[in-house]
Chains A and B, each alone.
Chain A
């Protein structure tokens, strides 16, 4: 199994051979570069604010410290981290296979719809059965939605970048149809579904806060997928296909099957995130249940250099940034979209600082 791990470092060829490679140095590298990238992104956010007549210092003050006020605000950050970690971790697997799944947002909605359909259906079911059932429904729906793009890629060579994005729009428009039509709560004037049955709600782990078991599931799945990617032969095949599909084919690996596997894993994680949003946070389906977690998840994976364990931390960090930008909107009327700008800057600086070193010889199309 040791060779597998060595092969994983071959993914990111050492740019400067001969420099120190000890454990401490690697740990320092693994933390210092992403930290520098995030600082540069925050700095550019601060400059943007200052140029437009806001208090630039606010970015650091609020985003890094202001959001940690009490137990409630910390739990709200962790609540936001759940979908970000899940989606980011799933995308690590897809990106390692050089599958550019940009459709996590749509897969999240597919999972949310499935969780809603299941979550309102079975009266009298015990929580012990109902909660896992809702989670499985979300994951399966997300995997199936992503699987469409996978099949089109494998059988028709249709670029998954474009098809997953188109499937995003189709999922969002379908949700809008469902909450105004077939799934609409007859008792409500708003376009939203009925409330999920109580037994289908995610158990809370830190009452009175809203934090639910999703955070534990997310961390556990991150660790599991790390072991899958870097410690199992199935994960090894996924990565070889990602680095060089031709070599993988010569080595007797089934390229199509690995593409399907990796895109469906990422879809399942996004679908699970959607199920958690429905069964853990909103308890009903409506049009805008996600503020763009699916797109944010891309930045989460990239900042982690497509490492699922790293994605736990980058997901947490992006949750802090999101909470911070909400707080800044409330306290200083700074438009909350600041968070997308900072995310974009994080990706650019991640590239510039060489945090993201994964490179494939596969063509993007």
Chain B
């Protein structure tokens, strides 16, 4: 029991928090772009697992981690293209298409995994932690914050770039306008559809990378259903973050903490909590987060196809 309050425990938990938040940070910041443009991608879970599988498959065949993450991003965007085609061009219901994307993503990755990989049982070389010289030896914070892998560090760059693009560029302004008042954008002579395609591709590309983190950094292989609801949790993160990239970063960290606590407390048999109660933590907290959030900032045109006429 003494373990729980020790500094070591806290440092490990804090480090794990950031690491476990990373897939959510990628997926939720991407989804912020998508939803700010008015497209609700319920298929995020399917996109993430396609990214997880594509990254894994690419590293198994090329041995290169950067190629793995690139493949995951492209695979995510490919799925995003299908989603965009149906929801933006055909103007089909976003929820219906998203549900299909989830079924296809989970089914296709399981099918290909069983066909090509299951008997090999191979793991891949995962992204290694990089010690930041000078800082990684700091007591407490050294272990928690400065011994992470490159992908985890890159979330800082991602949130910075996302904030700048969304609030400080004309692209970001137009993208937000597309989600609030598409007619204005249309009248101003820009294509609503093009911006929505762009937003969906940004969202699904990032979700693909987030998925790949699970197979290329968090663990070293693909498992069917490895995303285990993270795509859906990312959707809730976006709501709780009130459609802000910085908020998505912070809320993702909060959920990272729930995942970290779940793992850390499972390693404490003295506590005598059934492990299922800990397993439930992220899912229960997602519901709590949705209930607590103040409403009224939803992008006006979220989920509504744009008709030119």
Contacts and interface: CB of A to CB of B under 8 A. Distances in A.
Contacts of A48: 108, 111
A335 B107 CA distance: 10
Given A344-B103, A351-B92, A351-B100, 7 more contacts: A152-B291, A162-B235, A162-B290, A338-B107, A338-B111, A340-B107, A344-B107
Contact of A173 (B233, B239, B276, B287): B276
Given A335-B110, A344-B104, A352-B90, A170 B232 contact: no
A339 B106 CA distance: 11
A13 interface: no
Given A166-B286, A335-B115, A364-B94, A341 B104 contact: yes
B116 to A, nearest CB: 8
Contacts of B114: 335, 337
A351 to B, nearest CB: 4
Category for how many chain B residues contact A: 35 or more
A165 B302 contact: no
A176 B101 contact: no
Contact of A156 (B90, B99, B274, B291): B291
B287 A161 contact: no
Contacts of A102: 99
A152 B286 CA distance: 12
Contacts of B290: 152, 156, 158-159, 162-163
Contacts of B274: 177, 181
Interface of A: 48, 52-53, 100, 102, 152, 156-159, 161-163, 165-167, 169-170, 173-174, 176-177, 181, 295, 298-299, 302, 335, 337-341, 343-345, 347-348, 351-352, 356, 359, 363-365
Interface string B17-56: 0000000000000000000000010100000000000000
Given A338-B111, A340-B103, A340-B107, A166 B284 contact: yes
A53 B274 CA distance: 45
B207 to A, nearest CB: 16
Nearest to B229: A169
Contacts, number: 138
B161 interface: no
A163 B100 CA distance: 19
A163 B287 contact: yes
A165 B274 CA distance: 22
14 contacts: A152-B287, A158-B290, A166-B229, A173-B276, A181-B274, A335-B111, A344-B107, A347-B96, A347-B97, A347-B103, A352-B86, A356-B93, A363-B302, A363-B304
Contact of B286 (A162, A176, A363): A162
A162 to B, nearest CB: 5
A348 B97 contact: yes
Nearest to A342: B107
B280 interface: yes
Interface string B268-296: 00000010110110011011001100010
Q: Could you say which of A173, A176, A339, A348 has the most chain B C-beta atoms within 10 Å of its C-beta?
A: A348
A176 B111 contact: no
Contacts of A341: 103-104, 107-108, 111
A146 to B, nearest CB: 14
Given A158-B291, A298-B99, A347-B99, A365 B303 contact: yes
Nearest to A163: B287
Contacts of A295: 103
Interface in B105-135: 106-108, 110-112, 114-115
Given A166-B229, A347-B100, A364 B302 contact: yes
Nearest to B110: A337
